Amino acid sequence: MADIGFVGLGVMGGRMVVRLLAAGHAVTGYNRTRAKAAWLIERGMRWADSAREVAQAAGVTFSMVTDTAALQGITSGPDGLLAGLGPGKIYVDMSTVAPAVSREVAAAVRERGAQMLDAPVSGSVSTLEEGKLSIMAAGDQETFERVRPILEAIGPKVTYVGPNGRAVLMKIATNLSLAVQMLAFSEGVLLAERGGITRATAVEVLLNSVIASPMVRYRGPFVLRMPEEAWFDVGMMQKDMTLALDLGRELSVPLPATSATNQWLTAARGMGFGDRDFAVLFEVLSTMAGMRRAS
């Protein structure tokens, strides 16, 4: 069992801590808002007052934060995670951020005598809780092998993809499909409904058809009833789409479906849906089609 640190205890990070505790690991955590971590403290997580204190207390420190700016925020400064790292320690960032910035942080970690992996995940709250999360990891391969058993406590499918920055690149390449698929699924449901098929029936048929990817299977029912708490909100989804479009320009890869779907996410924000799960794309389309929600 390992002494593990975790910085960023939000919807996904907090549930990862639960899995680590269940596997028998000792976990020390920090979150900008302590009240959001109370339920984890009750389950046995130890609290630290800064990211630096977490890294000092742990042999392996994880982080899961919202974006590139947040990663820079938790790693830099006198109370940042970097200040708590030293020889022999390992830092694993599971956030989806700009690959170039991830590589910069990895270089700063090495200057402290430590090692860093970028290890974002593919999946949702439901796949995490069911133990079906997929993880991609990048960095020094020997370090990856040392951390692999801990990663497998979070999700059973762990894939090494290369040097630092490659895992976040792979995550961005994965995530651009999520909103594109959700938009296409919504178009299909609305077309069927307009033609006289009930929305619930259309959803049932599509979820049992060849287009039912794992993401469509767990998020498709949201067109009937949205979750009270967003699993992955419009703002976060658009952040990943923007990262993808930036990389597309940098690498000379045309991303027409990503670009078009990103405009629909902008429309969702314009309609006041920025904090809703990105499945709200269905509501944007249904509103334009003059149709009411089923629930």
Question: Which residues are marked as active site?
Answer: 171
Amino acid of residue 169: L
Give which of 178, 156, 175, 155 is closest to 167, Cα–Cα.
175
What DSSP state is assigned to residue 132? -
Q: Is 142 exposed, middle or buried (0-12, 13-18, 19+ CB in 10 A)?
A: exposed
Give the dihedral sign, CA 234/275/119/43: negative
Measured CA to CA, the distance from residue 103 to residue 75 in angstroms comes to 13
Amino acid of residue 186: S
90 has which bridge partners? 60, 115
Token pair of 288, please? 């334009």
The three-class DSSP label of residue 133 is coil
Q: 130: how many CB neighbours lie within 10 A of its CB?
A: 11
Tally of CA atoms within 13 A in the half-sphere of 147 that contains its CB: 33
**Hey, what long-range contacts does 208-213 have (CB within 8 A, 24 or more apart)?**
211/184, 211/185, 213/181
